[in-house]
A and B are shown apart, each in its own frame.
Chain A
Amino acid sequence: MELIQLAVPVLLKGLWVTAALTLVSVLIGFNLGLGLALMRLSSNAFAAGFAKYYSNVFRGTPLLVQIFIFYYGLGEVSLIRDNAVLWWVISDGSRCAVLALALNTAAYTSEILRGGLMSVPAGLVEAAQACGMSRILRFRRIEFPLAIRQALPAYGNELILVVKGTSLASTITVLEITGYAKRLMSQTFAIFEIFAIAGVLYLVVNLLLIAIIRSIERYLMRHEAQARQAISTPRIDGSAVI
């Protein structure tokens, strides 16, 4: 009981840091990922090649290595040390973690969105072209809404990976749930209890994210829900006849 009174407020303090890290890096990472997915599908060979290599490099190396390169490594490069803005970004652990997480999730997001964009039927895009829609209007009205519906379940998994990725920020001095949990473990020696409390916090965050994604999915797919109802009502009658 005493332990819970000691550990829960500390870990809740970490929860906010974890949530903030997740939110900022997802916001940046989603937009970057969308840009990369468009580059990957563009006819410009240089842009497509860059996006491909970017995603291979970031998906092929551990996040921990990326975080260490940004936090410990980049400070050595004089070009970055002399630039005030870049130095401001990498001089702080949490900003550095956000940078690494955002760039990392951008790579995964670009693959997910690319799959979604490729699943848009070519006929629909051609029809929009035939209607005289401009490229931007076509993307906004036809391609993106269809792609995001396809990509949403996979993107939900990626969000959970980002939440889990924020735990690595504890290796570069940022105290979030895992960072506080490690400190509490070495202070109290109640290792399993601390793990359980921290684990529950992570599970709550993940369940919340899943619930949000599900509700967005249901909102986007509301036409199908109505259609399914319309079909299923007569089918029940039909089975009664048989």
Chain B
Amino acid sequence: MEFGLWQVWDAGWVTAILRGAAVTIAVGLSSMVAGLLIGVVCGLIKWARIFPLSLLVDGYTSVVRGVPELLVIYLLFFSSVEFVTKVITAFGYAGLAESGYAFVIAVIAIGAISGAYSTEVIRGALASIPNGHIEAARALGLSGGRIFRRIIAPQMLRIAVPGINNVWQTTIKDTALVSVVGLQELMRISYIGANSTRHPFIFYLIAAVVYLVITLVSQAGFDGIERLLRLRARR
């Protein structure tokens, strides 16, 4: 039997794939936000060399960046699965375990990975802020929080945009890995489709195209942001 795009459409796989893509984007965005929060905190610690904490952050970034993402996901998933199912059933939310739990673990895992890369990006951006700016702000008597808000954060964000773009691209691609622990995102849906129809080629090709669309669209978005920031810097 010839199996083409029409059969994929006819069997209702398109809505499933789109729902999977939405989950992928949701996981990607949530872990990116979590990763950026981790990145800003850890980046500041690394930049300011706050003694015992900076050692911890160094350990975290070098382990997560040196060990395969898949291994990190296995660690978080396998080590939490028993504990969490116990807690959830104890509170009587057994149904919730199916849908919410995998999502949360996925966001924690991908967020931790993306956070390690964000830390390096933020640290690099902080290092390129001229020291004189901060000294000048201190000489004006600005408080620490205000120096961060008015002097450090705006410059840091502008310099960090290209790096954050890179981190986002790897983050969205890393979300494919959480399919191995059963979250129903784009990759998992394609896997299910491939297995149930026995036509893997077309399903994985569709998945590749959807990922490509996501990365190309976000690349265009970041290009736009970079252009905007550059214009403002020139004026």
CB of A186 within 8 A of chain B?
yes
Q: Which of A62, A166, A192 contacts B174 (CB 8 A)?
A: A62
Contact of B66 among A57, A185, A206 (CB under 8 A): A206
Given contacts A64-B177, A72-B194, contact A203 B208 (CB under 8 A): no
Question: Is A198 in the interface zone, CB < 8 Å from B?
Answer: yes
CB neighbours (8 Å) of B175 from chain A are: 62
The answer to whether A185 and B74 have CB atoms under 8 Å apart is yes
Select from chain B the residue with minimum beta-carbon distance to A160: B66
Interface hits, A187-222 → B, CB 8 Å:
191-192, 195, 198-199, 202-203, 206
Interface presence of A73 (CB below 8 A): yes
In the complex, A167 Cα to B180 Cα: how many Å? Answer: 13
- Residues in chain B near residue A63, CB distance under 8 A: 173
Majority SS at the chain A contact face: helix
Number of A-B contacts (CB under 8 A): 115
- Contact between A76 and B199 (Cβ–Cβ < 8 Å)? yes
Distance in angstroms between the alpha carbons of A112 and B33 in the assembled complex: 29
Indicate whether B151 reaches chain A with its CB closer than 8 angstroms: no
Contact between B205 and A73 (Cβ–Cβ < 8 Å)? yes
With CB as the reference atom, state the residue of chain A lying closest to B201. A73
Instruction: Verify B78–A186 contact, CB threshold 8 A.
Output: yes
Does A65 lie at the interface of the complex (its beta carbon under 8 Å from any beta carbon of B)?
Answer: yes
CA A230 to CA B180, docked complex, whole Å:
56
A105 interfacial contact with B, CB 8 Å: no
- When distances are taken between beta carbons in the complex, the residues of chain A under 8 Å from B187 are 62, 64-65
Identity of the chain B residue whose Cβ is nearest the Cβ of A206 in the assembled complex? B66
Interface residues of B in 133-174 (CB under 8 A from A): 169, 173-174
Q: Which of A60, A182, A185 gathers the greatest number of chain B CB atoms within 10 Å?
A: A60
A73→B204 contact, CB < 8 A: yes
Can you name the residue of chain A whose Cβ is closest to the Cβ of B215? A60
Find chain B residues with CB under 8 A from A69 CB: 201, 204-205, 208
Q: Does A181 contact B (CB under 8 A)?
A: yes
List A contacts of B177 (CB < 8 A).
62, 64, 168
Residues of B within 8 A of A65 (CB): 176, 187, 190, 204, 207-208, 211
Complex: how many Å from CA A69 to CA B212? 14
Nearest-neighbour CB distance to chain A for B155, whole angstroms, equals 25
Chain A, residues 80-105, CB within 8 Å of chain B (1/0): the string is 00000000000000000000000000
A164 contact from B67, B75, B199, B215, Cβ within 8 A: B67
Q: How far is the CA of A203 from the CA of B71 in the complex (A)?
A: 13
Q: Would you list which residues of chain B between 187 and 215 have a CB under 8 Å from chain A?
A: 187, 190-191, 194, 199-202, 204-205, 207-208, 211-212, 215
Q: Is A178 an interface residue (CB 8 A)?
A: yes
Partner of A64, one of B71, B75, B179, B200: B179
CA A182 – CA B65 in complex, angstroms?
A: 19
Chain B residues touching A, majority SS: helix
The contact string, 1 if C-beta is below 8 Å from chain A, for chain B 80-120, is 00000000000000000000000000000000000000000
B208 touches A61 (CB 8 A): yes
Asked if residues B176 and A203 are in contact (CB atoms below 8 Å), the reply is no
Query: Whole-angstrom distance from the CB of A200 to the nearest CB of chain B?
Result: 9
Rounded to whole angstroms, the CA-CA distance of A178 and B70 in the bound complex is 8
Q: Is A20 an interface residue (CB 8 A)?
A: no
Chain B 42-86 residues near chain A, CB threshold 8 A: 62-63, 65-71, 74-75, 78-79
| B59 CB, nearest partner CB in chain A, Å | 11
Q: Check A57 against B204 for contact (C-beta < 8 Å).
A: no
Question: Which residues of B have CB within 8 Å of A195?
Answer: 71, 74-75
Q: Is A77 an interface residue (CB 8 A)?
A: yes
Q: Please give, as numbers and ranges, the residues of chain A lying within 8 Å of B129 by CB-CB distance.
A: none
Would A178 and B68 count as touching, CB distance under 8 A?
A: yes
Contact A199/B208 with A74-B201, A167-B70 known, Cβ cut-off 8 Å? no
Q: Mark A42-65, 1 if CB is under 8 A from B, else 0.
A: 000000000000001101111111
CA distance A74 to B199 in the complex (A): 10
Known: A72-B201, A74-B201, A164-B67. 8 other contacts (CB 8 A): A60-B215, A69-B208, A164-B66, A165-B68, A171-B180, A181-B74, A186-B78, A202-B66
